Amino acid sequence: MVTPTVTIGKEQHIWAYDADMQPVVTVDPGTVIEIQTWDCFTGQVQSESDTVANLDIHRVNSATGPIAVRGAEPGDSLSVTLIDIRPEEKGAAMCIPEWGQLIHKVHSPVTRIFKVKDGIVHMNENVSWPQRPMFGVIGVAPASGSIPTFEANRHGGNLDNNMNGIGATVHLPVFQPGGQLAIGDMHASMGDGEISGTGVEIGGTAIIQVNLIKGKSGGWPITETADSWITHGTSPDNIDVALQNACEEAAKLLVDEWGFTIEDAFIFLSVAGDLGIAQYCHPSPGSVIAKMRVPKTKATPRPFKL
């Protein structure tokens, strides 16, 4: 295990990705950092009587940072490797009125408290399963304006992709000098789609390493795992647009980086790529996030040709 040389506490956080936000620390590429993150409710949910009804919604989805990386310039990728993600022992999930595919069938609001111990998530005495810790929110300063951490867009933000877990590297497109990375919204477990709008929301710590890829970036963040790279596509509210964006992004990389014809890219994605859903709690006011998983092959070994 690489030893972190910088530590950032959860009290150093943002509620929005601002184009002009200032870093709490500036590090060199290659730096290993320990970050601490709040659960998305910022500690407001401690028992099953703490529902969304008595939540201060202005204190939701903090992201620890910003972290500037020396030398990061617009057009680069700020590549964040999630070396380890360590949830605390208590998490929470919710049914939130008017949110999600099954909301019309349930009484709401409802909160469930989860115990996370020795790598196992316990929902109740009968229901438990192995944790798959991940970050819902990971992003950088956007090209302009201020984007709440609740939303996802080209800068990242609330991507809610459960592939952003241990071992993954997230290549974030840099829009501002230093990049200005901020990370939060840890889940001990979150399903594709996150249909109630919550995973097992939990605080914790993580070990990350930041690197730069000079002069290459995607239109959205791109996640890289041992066997795949995964493009994202977002939309404020339209799943077709999000899916389309994820497809077009993957095809663009196959053509621009790996020499596919666009016809071959289309066919390759149809026969070997997996189009999926990161976040689609519907209905809800949240962003829609789609993903296209491209398998690593000899012809597609990484998102970017270096």
Cis ω for the linkage preceding 236 (within 30 of 0) = no
Part in contact with a copy of itself (CB under 8 A); list of ranges 49-57, 80-88, 175-183, 298-306? 298-306
Part in contact with a copy of itself (CB under 8 A); list of ranges 61-69, 79-87, 149-157, 266-274? 266-274
Binding mask 236-255 for a copy of itself (x = CB under 8 A): ---xx--xx--xx--x----
Alpha-carbon distances, residue 150 vs 17, 62, 117 (angstroms) = 10, 9, 28
Binding mask 108-127 for a copy of itself (x = CB under 8 A): x-x-x-x------x-xx-xx
Give the DSSP H/E element, type plus range, for residue 249: helix 239-256
Picking from 139, 197, 143, the residue whose alpha carbon sits closest to that of residue 170 is: 139
Q: Least distance to a copy of itself from the beta carbon of 83, Å?
A: 24
Q: What are phi and psi of 144, to 5 degrees?
A: -160, 160
Alpha-carbon dihedral sign for residues 259, 262, 267, 268: positive
Q: Which amino acid is at 181?
A: L
From the list 44, 81, 128, 146, which residue makes contact with a copy of itself (rule: CB under 8 A)?
128
Part in contact with a copy of itself (CB under 8 A); list of ranges 27-35, 135-143, 188-196, 212-220? 188-196
d(CA 244, CA 5): 41
Q: Which amino acid is at 54?
A: N
Residue pair 174/73 in contact by the 8 Å Cβ criterion: yes
Q: How many residues lie near a copy of itself (CB under 8 A)?
A: 68
Q: Least distance to a copy of itself from the beta carbon of 153, Å?
A: 20
Part in contact with a copy of itself (CB under 8 A); list of ranges 6-14, 52-60, 69-77, 256-264? 256-264
Find tokens 């647009």 and name the residue. 241
Cis ω for the linkage preceding 74 (within 30 of 0) = no
Rule CB under 8 A: say whether 198 interacts with a copy of itself.
yes
Give the nearer residue to a copy of itself in terms of CB position, either 75 or 259. 259
Restricting to residues 13-42, which ones interact with a copy of itself according to CB under 8 A?
Answer: none
Picking from 126, 107, 292, the residue whose alpha carbon sits closest to that of residue 218 is: 292
Restricting to residues 37-56, which ones interact with a copy of itself according to CB under 8 A?
Answer: none
Restricting to residues 268-287, which ones interact with a copy of itself according to CB under 8 A?
Answer: 268-277, 280-282
Give the nearer residue to a copy of itself in terms of CB position, either 155 or 291. 291
**DSSP bridge pairs for 13:** 64
295 C-beta neighbours (distance < 10 Å), count:
12
297 C-beta neighbours (distance < 10 Å), count:
11
Q: Least distance to a copy of itself from the beta carbon of 14, Å?
A: 25
What residues line the site for a copy of itself (CB under 8 A)?
Answer: 93-95, 100-103, 105-108, 110, 112, 114, 121, 123-124, 126-129, 187, 189-200, 239-240, 243-244, 247-248, 251, 259-260, 262-277, 280-282, 293, 295, 297-300
